[in-house]
Structure 1
């Protein structure tokens, strides 16, 4: 029998990061399915409501949906309040011994999240502790298209 997977929220330096990581961990722990759901994300809005998203894998990789995109969609369905922070947690495969871990948003999610929440911060693990970092600083050369007016990004 395998030992329980530890919640990585204890690695977080502040209360908001801990809250988000714990919420994402609980979501993926409860919904993990090999080759289907590996990551969950949590976004908190300015009213302190947490919105969850689940990674949905697909046989055709391009059709997969990242957990952060799901959380963004859930947040926008529930509120128009500004979005404050995001965290994602990857659950280990049964063959892995690394445990659950905090993961940064992929490049595509960084672009998507910044399109909808230019001031968003992400929980990033620096090797020792995890804390909130401005997402714009992780994507210093964001694509700016012509679909809508771009909001200024601050690092």
Structure 2
């Protein structure tokens, strides 16, 4: 855990879902931050109102690292089959950085993974003015890869 005094980024969130998810991700990463090991936490909201968190787990071999969103997805699927509604991720600052936690969008790999399991998911992203908004995951992933392992997800209309 870091000794920095870092303000909770959910304080500026105007949407209740956004505030809930950003706060859950921030509480998790504030408690579990370890420089070069755990930098990001994610929170997923399901249709039953439950929030599932995941922690970024870094590795010496970059490809072996696991993103926080993947951890949250796994945590959710361990306990429920409920539809997944929304996701938020928060990056905690290194001790050498300004003490500001930031909402970060899912990386490309997580966009693909989340879309495979929850094509109707919305993601919390930062706006240029410093606020946050909910954005359809599909709009962050305009050209989804479609393989042959299972049927392609049907996009929400």
CA distance in 1, matches of 2:9, 2:107: 19
CA distance in 2, matches of 1:103, 1:13: 17
- Preserved CA contact (<8 Å) 1:137 1:154: no
Question: RMSD value over aligned CA atoms?
Answer: 1.2
CA distance in 1, matches of 2:4, 2:118: 38
**Which of 122, 146, 150 in structure 1 is aligned with 2:152?**
150
1:44 aligns with 2:45: yes
1:127 CA drift (Å) = 1.8
**Residue deviations 1:46-88 (CA, integer Å, cap 9, x gap):** 0000000000000001100000000000001110000000000
Q: How does 1:28-67 map to 2 (within 5 A)?
A: 28-67=29-68
1:151 CA drift (Å) = 1.6
1:11 CA drift (Å) = 2.5
- Preserved CA contact (<8 Å) 1:136 1:154: no
- Residue in 1 that maps onto 2:132: 130
Three-state SS of the structure 1 residue aligned to 2:90 is: strand
- What TM-score, normalized to structure 2? 0.95
- Preserved CA contact (<8 Å) 2:6 2:99: no
Three-state SS of the structure 1 residue aligned to 2:152 is: coil
The list of structure 1 runs, each at least 4 consecutive aligned residues, that deviate by more than 2 angstroms after superposition, is none
- What TM-score, normalized to structure 1? 0.96
Number of matched pairs: 154
- Residue in 2 that maps onto 1:117: 118
**Residue deviations 1:15-48 (CA, integer Å, cap 9, x gap):** 0000000000000000000110000000000000
1:3 CA drift (Å) = 5.2
- Preserved CA contact (<8 Å) 1:86 1:123: yes
Structure 2 residue runs of 5 or longer lacking an equivalent are none
